[in-house]
Amino acid sequence: MALKDKVVLITGGNSGIGEAVTRRFIQEGAKVSIIGRSIETLKKMKAEFGEEILINQGDVSKYEDNEKAVQATVKQFGKLDVLVANAGVFDGFAKFADVTPDALSEAYDFLLNINVKGSFFGAKAALEELQKSNGNIIFTVSGASFYPDGGGVWYTASKHAQIGLMRQLAFELAPNIRVNAVAPGGTLTALSVIPPLRPFVKVVDNDTKASSIKKRNPLQLAQLPEDHVAAYVLLASDEARAITGEVISSDGGLSVRGL
């Protein structure tokens, strides 16, 4: 049990990669608190995991929702050891040239408020408790944090920005708090395209998505959320006490191809 007695807050822990991380962290002995938007999926997780989990309905782009979740977590489980800032949304590969200036602006606010400001807010709200526990932060970034064509400009810019946030925080928060990231490659989840860009993108079915993900990475994997969880377990655990400011890529080898 690599995470025995750890208390972890995971944003977007009710679906996709965040849900897989939640499940595995509980198996590894952690108490997990999750923030999500959908009350149905939050309640499903509560029904399955009972006392091991705390659910918080909220919006990561609002500071007070992050703060409330941290307070509720500490009230329920007594401390906070790890923040996994994972909640995110997608731009559906919308093409910059196709999008009107109004939609560009609306999409910018919508997506960066969640992917970037939500990461800032999660880290800020958790900071005091992580200082007390000598804890750590893990951001879910992406292949789009390093390479083009992992999304459109909004998503790619947001995922690059998270790397800057992670590196600067690793520098500022040492020696008390470690700060790292996991960068999944294309993964079969329900990652949603934000409303302002829906008129500009093609909706693809799961088979098309799977074959396009396979073609992009040298290992030819249509990755599943479970493929990434070991990286989170390592970074969250005390085994990683010498690791900060790092990204573990879990992407089927995108860098090998040098996209």
Q: Which of the residues are catalytic?
A: 155
* 122 counts as binding ligand NAD under rule CB under 6 A: no
* 184 counts as binding ligand NAD under rule CB under 6 A: yes
* 12 counts as binding ligand NAD under rule CB under 6 A: yes
Query: What track of x and - describes contact with ligand NAD for positions 27 through 66 (by CB under 6 A)?
Result: --------xxxx--------------------xxx-----
CB closer to ligand NAD out of 32 and 35: 35
Stretch that binds ligand NAD, among 1-9, 81-89, 91-99, 164-172 (CB under 6 A): 81-89
| Least Å from the CB of residue 155 to ligand NAD | 7
Cα–Cα distance list, 181 to 14, 71, 142, 143 (Å): 19, 24, 9, 11
* 196 counts as binding ligand NAD under rule CB under 6 A: no
CB closer to ligand NAD out of 118 and 135: 118
DSSP secondary structure string for all residues of 202-250: ----HHHHHHHHHHHSTT---B-GGGGHHHHHHHHSGGGTT--S-EEEE
185 three-class SS: coil
Quick one: tokens of 96? 């910059």
Residues in the chain: 259
Size of the site for ligand NAD (CB under 6 A): 28
> Among 76, 100, 131, 192, which residue interacts with ligand NAD (rule: CB under 6 A)?
192
CB closer to ligand NAD out of 33 and 61: 61
- The H or E element containing residue 168 is helix 153-173
Q: What is the largest CA-CA distance in the chain?
A: 51
**Binding positions for ligand NAD, 101-120, rule CB under 6 A:** 114
Cis check for the bond before 175: say yes or no (omega within 30 of 0).
Answer: yes
Q: Which of 129, 162, 124, 156 is nearest to 143 (CA)?
A: 156
> Among 6, 15, 147, 252, which residue interacts with ligand NAD (rule: CB under 6 A)?
15
Three-point CA angle 136, 115, 5, nearest 5° = 25
> Among 133, 187, 237, 249, which residue interacts with ligand NAD (rule: CB under 6 A)?
187
